[in-house]
Amino acid sequence: MSSIAWSIDKNHFKALKNHPSWGYTYWAFDIHSTMIIPNYDDVNIPREFYPLAKHILQQISKRDDIIMIMNTCSHPHEIAQYRKLFEENGIHFKYVNSNPEVETREGKYGYYEDKFYFNVLFEDKAGFNGETDWLSVAKIMKFNDIVNGTNTETK
């Protein structure tokens, strides 16, 4: 099992099973080298998705048990362009670089003033490989049209 599949299983499926009152988990997604192939152009943002990424992100966006957070070091004007790109492609992020739903509470586990809370992290610097790991995501999420190669949008 890949590390991202392990994280999804442990921090999404098992977490919701153990804490059914939660109802959802938070997934943080880096942009470059994770969802989008970088172009190293300081004028035009890259817009090409990794194979499988767009369709899988669209499917994740439809789920009520996942809140998506864009986690990026992009400049504010670039973030606006990315939000538009993702929305045009049916990919919906609720927050950018924050999670105001989980706050620090005295006597409770976690201090979230300097690091926002998430359950699953898609980040190339943490080991996620945009070129290869999306298939593992499709398998653990049971997106069988992708796994079986029957989705024409992903070819």
For residue 79 the two structure tokens come to: 């973030």
Residue type, 114: D
Q: Distances from the Cα of 26 to the Cαs of 141, 152, 153, 155, in angstroms? A: 15, 29, 26, 29
Q: Is residue 6 part of a domain?
A: yes
Task: Tell whether pTM > 0.95.
Answer: no
CA 151 to chain centre: 21
Q: For residue 130, what are the domain limits?
A: 1-15+34-62+83-103+126-155
Residue 76 inside a domain? The answer is no
Residue 120 within any structural domain of the chain: no
- Asked, for residue 135, whether it belongs to a domain, the answer is yes
Tens of pLDDT, residues 89-111: 999 999 999 999 988 876 677 87
The tens digit of pLDDT for each residue in 49-77 reads 999 999 999 999 999 999 999 999 999 99
Q: Is residue 108 part of a domain?
A: no
Query: How many domains does the chain fold into?
Result: 1
Q: Tell whether 8 is covered by a domain.
A: yes
